[in-house]
């Protein structure tokens, strides 16, 4: 709430007849300007909250894809390689079936990687690649596949050791 003092140019001179209505119009304009400023501030704060929530959701989905889904796919690929290594000679049908499954699994892994690359901050949509320095890319390495350069898994090899080998082979490229 504020106070407004009025005075005339000369002492004891009365205000013009329309002064009250003009003053009411002026006060209404000031009130509208203040309301607009408050609304704009609330709108900016709301937009900031929406962007922060969207960024947090994007990071959570990206983290879930990388730390959850992609890691599970890597583990399944390693288990499949162990199964391939355990197939005795002469069972070509089983070997070819496992190879087809490995190819399908590699395709799913590639698709998950593409999806995780497609999740990007709004700043990239708005500013394009000029904003790339402020964005963390989820994963840029190649996906494991049935014909990757890793040796076939041995039954005694632990999944953690195999995963470490997989990550090391990616970073050496």
- Predicted pLDDT of residue 133: 43
Residue 47 lies in a domain: no
Residue 83 lies in a domain: yes
Span 17-46, pLDDT tens digits: 898 899 899 999 999 999 999 999 999 999
Residue 130 lies in a domain: yes
Residue 25 lies in a domain: no
> The domain containing residue 86 runs over which residues?
62-171
How many separate domains does the chain show? Answer: 1
pLDDT at residue 144 tops 50: no
Q: Which of 36, 32, 31 shows the shortest CA–CA distance to 1? A: 31
- Predicted pLDDT of residue 33: 93
CA distances, 20 to each of 23, 30, 58, 162 (Å): 5, 15, 56, 85
Percentage of the chain exceeding pLDDT 90 = 16
Which two structure tokens, joined as six digits, stand for 143? 């996906």
Residue 79 lies in a domain: yes
- Predicted pLDDT of residue 63: 79
More confident residue, 98 or 150: 98
Span 45-56, pLDDT tens digits: 999 999 999 888
Q: What share of the chain is helix, strand, coil (3-state, %, to 5)?
A: 70, 0, 30
Residue 144 lies in a domain: yes
- Predicted pLDDT of residue 138: 47
Residue 18 lies in a domain: no
Per the CB < 8 A criterion, the answer to whether 112 and 70 are in contact is: yes
More confident residue, 20 or 122: 20
What average pLDDT does range 144-152 have in this prediction? 46
Percentage of the chain exceeding pLDDT 70 = 66
Residue 14 lies in a domain: no
């Amino acid at each position: 709430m504020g106070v407004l003092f009025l005075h005339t140019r000369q002492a004891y001179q009365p205000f013009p007849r329309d002064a009250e209505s003009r003053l009411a119009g002026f006060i209404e304009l000031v009130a509208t300007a203040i309301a607009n400023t408050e609304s704009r501030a609330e709108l900016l704060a709301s937009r900031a909250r929406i962007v922060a929530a969207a960024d947090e959701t994007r990071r959570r989905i990206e983290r879930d894809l990388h730390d959850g889904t992609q890691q599970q796919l890597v583990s399944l690929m390693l288990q499949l390689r162990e199964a391939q290594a355990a197939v005795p000679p002469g069972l070509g049908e089983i070997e070819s079936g496992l190879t087809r499954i490995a190819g399908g699994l590699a395709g799913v892994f590639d698709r998950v990687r593409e999806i995780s690359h497609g999740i990007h901050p709004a700043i990239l949509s708005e500013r394009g690649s000029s904003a790339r320095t402020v964005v963390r890319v989820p994963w840029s390495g190649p996906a494991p596949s049935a014909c990757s350069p890793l040796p076939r898994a041995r039954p005694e090899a632990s999944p953690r050791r195999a995963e470490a080998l997989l990550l090391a082979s990616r970073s050496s490229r």
